[in-house]
Amino acid sequence: MSYTIKETRATASKLHEVDINNIVMGHAFTDHMFICDYEDGKWQNPRIEPLHEIPTHPAAMALHYGQAIFEGMKATLGKDGSPLLFRPDENAKRLNFSADRMGMPLFPEDLFVEGLKRFLAIEHHWIPTSEGSALYLRPFMYADEAFIGMRAATKYKFIIFASPAGPFFSKPIKLWAETKFIRAANGGTGEAKAAGNYAAAIRPTELAKAKGYDQVLWLDARDFEYIQEVGTMNIFFKIAGKWITPNLGGSVLAGITRMSVIDLLRDKGYEVTERPIAMHEIIEASEQGSLEEAFGAGTAVGIAMVEEIGYQDMRITFPAGNPVSEDVKETLNQIKLQEVEDKFGWIVPVELGIPQPR
């Protein structure tokens, strides 16, 4: 379906105020936003406007009952200067999976992708080109009906805004396997990209950081034994030459990087199994010398090598080097920059009026 997306341009760009190639993610924002309202049972008035604050009623339901979901994606610049999206249809699908779980209206998936393309056609000058950089895109939806009471809201906003982002973890990371707090239990909201999941992770992450770790490694809610995922990443281990990653058992977010990495590893000839992984298996592999590599995989971070897992009073360490993880990281980056053939068909170029070479 083709949509009419009204465009109102900013009178001046703030681009000259920031060094987009030397920036930490999340501090600077581009000039525009895509916005669409849900009212009277339908999505309406999709538009691009100068980035602005949105008036919020104190009774806006997202603030009280937490109907808020989001996505995270990155745009890079292709060789011919076109912005490139990575599997945007998967983000559109996942947003709707989250919306369904949280009792929110589904957003048309073709409008999600069309909105991103139109937004990037305006904001492409904001895509950084330094190594490991990209334009981080944040599509999200929240309930903005003013109402007190526990039911699904009848008014929502869907918005896309963007922030130029440099590389995230340049060094291997240390993970704290958490045995007091949980992120998700089966039947809960862990499979959805719901804002509340992240709220509940903030304090445990602060405590892990105070112990010297970068992120929490979440364990299952019943036994604190089976590995789920990391703060904003899925996790992969290489034990005795084979790759394993926790299965999506109902409490793990279905990462788009995760699904891509599984394909890449298999394409490189590795066996990859999705199954429950117990902490004691990791400890035993470490004791036997068969624990070879581990990495976290997610859009914001890319591939982050793991050098240590702290668990109770143990420190499980990984050998330096990570040859396969480095290779996967490199291939994924090359695909995202059109430096190698995109044989999986993951890249979606955005057409510009006049592309400018990188």
Look at residues 315, 296, 322 and name the one whose alpha carbon lies nearest to residue 228.
296
- Distance in Å, CB of 234 to ligand PLP, minimum: 5
Alpha-carbon separation of residue 55 from 29, 36, 52, 60, 157 (angstroms): 19, 15, 10, 10, 12
191 in contact with ligand PLP (CB under 6 A): no
For 218, the token pair is: 């979440």
Does residue 217 bind ligand PLP (CB under 6 A)?
no
The one among 98, 215, 257, 331 contacting ligand PLP by CB under 6 A: 257
Q: How far is the CB of 242 from ligand PLP (least distance, A)?
A: 22
Applying CB under 6 A, the span of 11-19, 123-131, 161-169, 255-263 interacting with ligand PLP comes to 255-263
The nearer residue to ligand PLP, 76 or 299, going by C-beta atoms, is 299
CA distance 106 to 97: 8
CA distance 227 to 229: 6
The CB-of-298 to ligand PLP minimum distance in angstroms stands at: 3
How far is the CA of 99 from the CAs of 26, 93, 152, 231, in angstroms? 24, 10, 11, 21
Q: How far apart are CA 158 and CA 70, in angstroms?
A: 9
75 neighbors 84 (Cβ within 8 angstroms): yes
Q: Is 115 in the site for ligand PLP (CB under 6 A)?
A: no
Binding to ligand PLP (CB under 6 A) within 284-313 occurs at: 298-299
Residue 72 binding ligand PLP, by CB under 6 A: yes
Q: Which of 232, 322, 325, 331 binds ligand PLP (CB under 6 A)?
A: 232
Instruction: Candidates 2-10, 56-64, 78-86, 250-258: pick the segment binding ligand PLP (CB under 6 A).
Output: 250-258
Kindly tell me which of 46 and 231 has the beta carbon lying closer to ligand PLP: 231
- Residue 34 phi/psi, 5° resolution? -100, 135
**Can residue 215 be called a binding residue for ligand PLP (CB under 6 A)?**
no
User: Per CB under 6 A, does 31 bind ligand PLP?
Assistant: no
Stretches 38-46, 132-140, 249-257, 314-322: which one binds ligand PLP (CB under 6 A)?
Answer: 249-257
Per CB under 6 A, 256 contacts ligand PLP: yes
- Residue from the set 78, 255, 302, 310 that interacts with ligand PLP by CB under 6 A: 255
User: How far apart are the C-alpha atoms of 227 and 214, rounded to whole Å?
Assistant: 17
234 binds ligand PLP (CB under 6 A): yes
The 10 Å Cβ neighbour count of residue 167 is 14
- Residue 229 Cβ vs ligand PLP, minimum distance, rounded to whole Å: 5
> What burial letters (b/e) apply to 188-215, b meaning 16+ CB within 10 Å?
bbbbbbbbbbeebbeebbeebeeeebbb
Q: How many residues bind ligand PLP (CB under 6 A)?
A: 12
The CB density around residue 5, as the number of other CB atoms within 10 Å, is 17
Contacts of 75 (CB under 8 A, 6+ apart): 83, 84, 85, 120, 124, 127, 134, 135, 137, 162, 350
- Shortest distance, CB of residue 249 to ligand PLP, whole angstroms? 14
Q: Please report, as ranges, the residues that interact with ligand PLP according to CB under 6 A.
A: 72, 229, 232-234, 253, 255-258, 298-299
